[in-house]
A = this chain, B = another copy of it.
Amino acid sequence: MITSQTECDKVTRLPDHEPHSAFAPHDHRACEARVLDQARDRLAANGARLTPVRQRTLEILLESHRAMGAYEVLDRLAAEGFGRQPPVAYRALEFLVEHGLAHRLQRLNAFAACLHPGHDHAPAFLICRDCDMLAELPAAPVRDALTDLAAESGFQVERVTIEALGLCPACAGAARP
């Protein structure tokens, strides 16, 4: 494990790194390219290799702001000539998660590309129950509230999972016009 739970969270104030929420309309090509670049930098810094399967896995995750199941990823990889057995996908996904390039969504048993891989972070997730879109949120305030509460009973928090299910702006608007 290389990433740390300590989150930067300055990221939301740096337009270059986090220009908008995933929910806001945006140039997604640029979004993909930017993340891929940052990912490459980060791996180089860590001395880890972005091999073809790994890169392709990241690209597949990056195609949309949605979480994908491991088998969905595997089907894509297999169709492109990579191995067709589960460990192929799980290993690539695990690698990406370990290096902070993807997140695992516990509620969904699924994975999603990290949108600001330049920073170690443990974000909160907003998952739209209607369109499956996903956004990362700087979780520091939320996490701190939890860590404080836990400390009252002597519990030492190490890793936190914060996932919200609900309606994204678009779907909320469509439901109630």
Contacts and interface: CB of A to CB of B under 8 A. Distances in A.
A155 B168 CA distance: 5
A46 interface: no
A169 interface: yes
Interface in A121-162: 124, 126, 128-129, 135, 137-139, 141-142, 145-147, 149-150, 153-162
Contact of A150 (B155, B159, B160, B166): B166
A159 to B, nearest CB: 4
Interface residues of A, number: 38
28 contacts: A23-B153, A23-B155, A106-B106, A106-B107, A106-B161, A124-B146, A124-B149, A126-B150, A126-B155, A129-B158, A135-B155, A141-B145, A142-B142, A142-B145, A146-B162, A146-B164, A150-B166, A155-B167, A155-B169, A155-B172, A158-B166, A158-B167, A159-B164, A159-B165, A159-B166, A160-B163, A160-B164, A161-B162
Interface of A: 21, 23-24, 106-107, 124, 126, 128-129, 135, 137-139, 141-142, 145-147, 149-150, 153-169, 172
